[in-house]
């Protein structure tokens, strides 16, 4: 089973994969490298990957090369975590830049394209005026439930009303 290692803190300049491969050449031919570059400029994005045959070899490389000076910058080497598929949210066999699992943060929700013309509540509080109407009405008539669940939702509302009145 092959193990993929993340190589971080690479210089952000135009460089060839062979330059990174030369760093690990004494580990043998079983070590392969992949340099991640910007598609437009061809410059290194600051990280890459090394694939090795087993955990023992991966641990040896981490111990030996973590902090190794490559083009005047110390390399950061650690085991890569599995990459997630952005389209399906499923895990693939390929791996990506590692993250500390104990400090996983959720990404903030970004505004969709439909909200581009709307001003935020913060903008309104600063004295800005908004020409868009507020569609977040709290009345039951403004929000129509999915017809497939309308009956179940009505029963649930009745049960909720009955328990809150008690």
Alpha carbons 51 and 104: distance in angstroms, whole number: 25
The token pair at 57 is 């070899």
Q: Which two tokens stand for residue 43?
A: 């410059």
- For the segment 71-119, what is each residue's pLDDT rounded down to a tens digit? 889 999 999 988 776 655 444 444 444 444 444 444 455 544 445 555 5
Percent of the chain scoring above 90 in pLDDT: 33
Domains and CATH numbers, the chain: 3-99 (3.30.70.330)
Mean pLDDT for 3-19 is 91
Tell me the pairing of strands 73-74 and 3-8: unpaired
Do 99 and 82 form a contact (C-beta atoms < 8 A)?
A: no
Q: Which residues pair with 114 in a beta bridge?
A: none
Residue 153: pLDDT band (50, 70, 90) is confident
CA 55 to chain centre: 25
Cβ(23)–Cβ(65) below 8 Å: yes
pTM tops 0.75, yes or no = no
Those residues whose C-beta lies under 8 Å from the C-beta of residue 42, and which sit 6 or more positions away, are 14
């Amino acid at each position: 089973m092959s193990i993929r290692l993340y190589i971080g803190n690479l210089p952000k300049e135009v460089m060839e994969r062979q330059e990174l491969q030369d760093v690990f050449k004494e580990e043998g031919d079983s070590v392969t490298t992949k340099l991640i570059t910007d598609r437009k400029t061809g410059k290194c994005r600051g990280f890459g990957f090394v694939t090795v045959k087993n955990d023992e070899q991966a641990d040896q490389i981490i111990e030996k090369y973590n902090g190794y000076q490559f083009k005047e910058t110390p390399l950061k080497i650690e085991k890569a975590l599995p990459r997630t598929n952005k389209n399906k949210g499923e895990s693939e066999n390929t791996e990506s830049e590692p993250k500390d699992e104990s400090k996983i943060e959720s990404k903030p929700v970004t505004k969709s394209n439909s909200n581009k013309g709307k001003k935020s509540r913060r903008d309104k509080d600063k004295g800005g005026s908004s020409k868009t109407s507020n569609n977040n009405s709290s009345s039951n008539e403004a929000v129509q439930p999915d017809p497939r669940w309308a009956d179940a939702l009505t029963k649930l509302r009745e049960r909720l009303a009955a328990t809150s009145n008690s």
